[in-house]
Amino acid sequence: MLAAVIQLSSQDDVPQNLARVRDLVLEAGRAGAELVALPENFAFMGEEAQKRSIAEPVESDAEGPIMTALRLAARDARVWLVAGGMPERSDDPDRPFNTSVLLEPDGRLVARYRKVHLFDVDLPDGTKLLESGATRAGSEPVLAEIGSRAGRPVTLGMTICYDVRFPELYRQLVAGGARVVTVPAAFTVTTGKDHWHVLMRARAIENQVFVLAPAQHGKHPRGRQTYGKSIIVDPWGDVLAQCGEGEGIALARLDFAAQDRVRASLPCLSHRRL
């Protein structure tokens, strides 16, 4: 399966962000990608009040501008599309969910994952982030099956950004059959420069999965600056593809036969005792 991660530098203009998403998803589809992943906050990065105002339902028949744009992009590119997080309306109008969605190539919603672990930190560079103040946490891991041109269904596990620091979530996904895990992200420069590659490779190695980690890059409203370096990592921990500076696409082939060989030659998943 050929997979793509898309790197964005999203701002606070939703239509402009969604137009850029569409262009890059279509470009990935033309390059042969079957599975395409978008970063966290692909549709909006800006003030929390505005984020609350654009939160929309995430359902199969939802007609909000974000879900409509995603359905059209997946359908027109003929790709499986993982997008998110995006602000999903909750029963608390002040705290939407941070949600990642999976759409199939006809645009139908297949799965929805609500971010479980929320990023509340005071970083050494003075950055203060309180995601829980404006976001409602999810509670359940999510797995879904995606098709491939080879005709073999593949189990996908869905996570978002800060989740990557909690390996127990990834163990649950692998126990449920995950062969690929998506980690759409908006890592800060402070944490990204020291932890981005280490964490993504660690989750891939210890779980013997492919990790697709599309990321935000550059400067955003509210003084935010993100690290980028969107990557695709294989089950041995090798980085198969990585985006450079700015917006763009990284492509890599996911070789599931090679994954089977890794799991057979180093069967650590069957050696678990706890």
User: Which pair of tokens denotes residue 246?
Assistant: 């700015």
**Which one-letter amino acid corresponds to residue 75?**
R
Please confirm, yes or no, whether 161 is among the known catalytic residues: yes
Please confirm, yes or no, whether 51 is among the known catalytic residues: no
Residue in 34, 40, 131, 247 annotated catalytic = 40
Residue in 56, 88, 104, 115 annotated catalytic = 115
Residue in 161, 229, 243, 247 annotated catalytic = 161
CA–CA dist 131, 95 (Å, integer):
9
Q: Point out the residues that are catalytic.
A: 40, 115, 161
